[in-house]
Amino acid sequence: MTARRALITGITGQDGSYLAEFLLQQGYAVVGMVRRASTEPFERIAHLRERITLKPADLLDQASLIHLVREVRPHEIYNLASQSFVPTSWEQAVLTAEFTAVGVTRLLEAIRLVDPGIRVYQASTSEIFGKAQEVPQHERTPFYPRSPYGVAKLYGHWITVNYRESYGLFACSGILFNHESPRRGKEFVSRKVTDGVARIKHGLATELKLGNLDARRDWGYAGDYVKAMWLMLQQESPDDYVIATGETHSVRELVQIAFARAGLNWRAHVVEDLALKRPAEVDLLQGDASKAKRVLGWQPEVGFRELIEMMVDADIERYAEALPGSGRSGGR
């Protein structure tokens, strides 16, 4: 039997790499969309390179998306590509809208033109709840985004719903709460902290500058969350789902767990930097994933403490391997 084909945009990112691994395990032929760069940003998928196909296209370029979908003719498309760092969205608000908002329409148009039977997953986000109107947040909670990123993602969410309702596309929007891993970008708070702890542990740094320690998030493990993306596209009918752990923790709690894992006192190293505070903050996110549990049979497997400790251990090990005299060469 011919393998089912999946196309992943954003395959070089955190989620793209875990989703590619998961779909390969399920027997899919996996094609990743990559944008042109003068150096190859393929670190997270280096271990998969022989088993996946990479093809060039860009969310900013309509024709490239049409050609790509026509060439690959996937059964499923996972749209994970976006400008995903919230602070950058204030500095590059228009570009964020081009990738993260209008880019979704460009991809949906390509699907509609080439083959409206292709199933599509849109990477939506808890940032669309922003200044949360209720706790916990679920699929019917009113939206109130608090950054250009959140606003752009809300457009992406609604255009996905609209193409489903207008053209009958099998289009699902996954409203995923924060999810992390040892492959998380170092600019996001979880990885910034675990990388900082590892650097301090190895004597490479003495302090770690952070912004708002009071912000609260519902943090889960990326490896668990990509399974939910796939499950959404295996249902009889398309729908939107909140994916979350149901727990909320502060950045301060995250810091305490991370430093304690390395046997360090966080108060001796963490420095508050007002420049890292945001023009408008999302104070408290906590998701209610009961619909996903009921309909998809999905539930998270890795808890908050286990996640942060996994990330600290991985970063400490990575520096141990890279440092001279370790007797080991190369990074993770």
Q: Please, which residue, 33 or 251, has the CB nearer to ligand F7E?
A: 251
Nearer to ligand F7E, 141 or 212 (CB): 212
Site string for ligand NAP, 81-100 (x = CB under 6 A): xxxx--------------x-
Residue 55: name its binding partner from ligand NAP, ligand F7E, none (Cβ under 5 to 8 Å by kind).
Answer: none
Binding residue for ligand NAP (CB under 6 A) from 89, 125, 194, 256?
Answer: 125
Among 104, 251, 258, 270, binds ligand F7E (CB under 6 A): 251
Q: How far apart are CA 283 and CA 34, in angstroms?
A: 34
Give min distance, CB of 199 to ligand NAP, in A: 21
Q: Which of 11, 189, 229, 262 binds ligand F7E (CB under 6 A)?
A: 189
If we measure between CA atoms, which residue out of 227, 198, 242, 218 comes closest to residue 307? 218
Q: Which of 9, 127, 225, 248 is catalytic?
A: 127
217 lies in the site for ligand F7E, by CB under 6 A: yes
Q: What residues form DSSP beta bridges with 6?
A: 30, 76
Binding to ligand NAP in span 210-269, by CB under 6 A: none
Considering CB under 6 A, how many residues would be counted as binding ligand NAP? 25
Q: Candidates 11-19, 193-201, 273-281, 306-314: pick the segment binding ligand NAP (CB under 6 A).
A: 11-19
Q: CB nearer to ligand F7E: give 157 or 217.
A: 217
Is 12 near ligand NAP (CB under 6 A)? yes
Known catalytic residue at 149: yes
210 near ligand F7E, rule: CB under 6 A = yes
Give catalytic status of residue 127 as yes or no. Answer: yes
Instruction: Extract the tokens encoding 245.
Output: 């752990």
Catalytic: 125?
yes
Catalytic residue among 9, 96, 125, 194: 125
Footprint on this chain of ligand F7E (rule: CB under 6 A)? 84, 86, 125-127, 177-178, 187-190, 192, 210-212, 215, 217, 251, 276, 278, 281-282
Active site residues per annotation: 125, 127, 149
Footprint on this chain of ligand NAP (rule: CB under 6 A)? 9-10, 12-16, 35, 37, 41, 58-60, 80-84, 99, 123, 125, 176, 178-179, 185
